[in-house]
Structure 1
């Protein structure tokens, strides 16, 4: 599975729009799988650094334990509802799915001895932008996977 930079090289314009949607707000939502297989939704922050999509989990957080046990995740960027009468201005929303690969401990300057959590790097399986067409009359779902490439579907 590819790192963010592989997706960025394959689809630079699409990747730029995804990144702008993710950077539009600080807080994102991540879905992980609990030990019993049921879903868990958690707030999270992420960053695009050195060609990678990275996110962390604080020591003792359930999402980190979920990812260590089953690395599959779905990450949803900040959401903004289309304003009535201004639907054409809605930028849409972005989602990224994949597997979280442990990338080492996270420590703050105050705590050099004890790690404050675990950092993960995303191996990406799919990237999606959901938005509206230019007339704001149809839902447009743009997606990319490493095996299929890019696809666009319009729905009424």
Structure 2
């Protein structure tokens, strides 16, 4: 597993494409595992800050409980027909950001200074509800993938920690 900064150093162009997919819509989907092993999908707003990929969850939420029990998770950029190009007047696909997925482990951020810096950035981005504040998590990455629709099929790019970037074309 690696931090976002290590992934960016290993594959800067691919990391920029992945980040663009998440930046295209601030909402994303987070897959976690329930105690019984069943998957759970929840909405989340990932944030790229200080060379890391951050998640923040409300204390006591089911996402929080899932991640405390088993930190493995998968993050998926928001996908919509508009982003895929189906509503483009020209009718072409692949005109916007790729569909991106990041798998890894959510790690609690416990350093008070690091947490305070992120909370300042988060408050500058959006209003936080009153109360104790969110639980702060950093995502350690095991694998990353994107899919881009083209007129001739799709292009799948994938990278695993310690491995090379792979590109596959599907018709």
TM-score (norm 1): 0.89
Aligned counterpart, 2:14: 14
Instruction: Give the SS at the match of 1:65.
Output: helix
Which protein has the bigger strand share?
A: 1
For this pair of structures, how many residues does the alignment match? 152
> Among 138, 147, 155, which residue is 2:153 paired with?
138
Query: What are the Cα deviations for residues 49-81 of structure 1, in whole angstroms up to 9, with x where unaligned?
Result: 111000011011001110011000000112132
Residue 144 of structure 2 corresponds to which residue in structure 1? 127
- SS for the counterpart of 1:54 is strand
More helix by share: 2
Instruction: Find the aligned partners of 1:110 and 1:13 in 2 and give their Cα distance.
Output: 36
Counterpart among 79, 87, 93 of residue 93 in structure 2:
87
Secondary structure class of the residue paired with 2:139: strand
Partners of 1:110 and 1:19 in 2: how far apart?
A: 26
Partner deviation per Cα, 1:66-98 (whole Å, 9 max, x = no partner): 001100000011213223421141432111000
Unaligned runs of 5+ in 1: none
Query: For residue 40 of structure 1, what is the aligned residue in structure 2?
Result: 40
State the superposition RMSD in angstroms.
Answer: 2.0
- Aligned to 1:148, the other structure's residue is in SS state coil
- CA shift in 2, pair 1:6/1:34, >3 Å: same
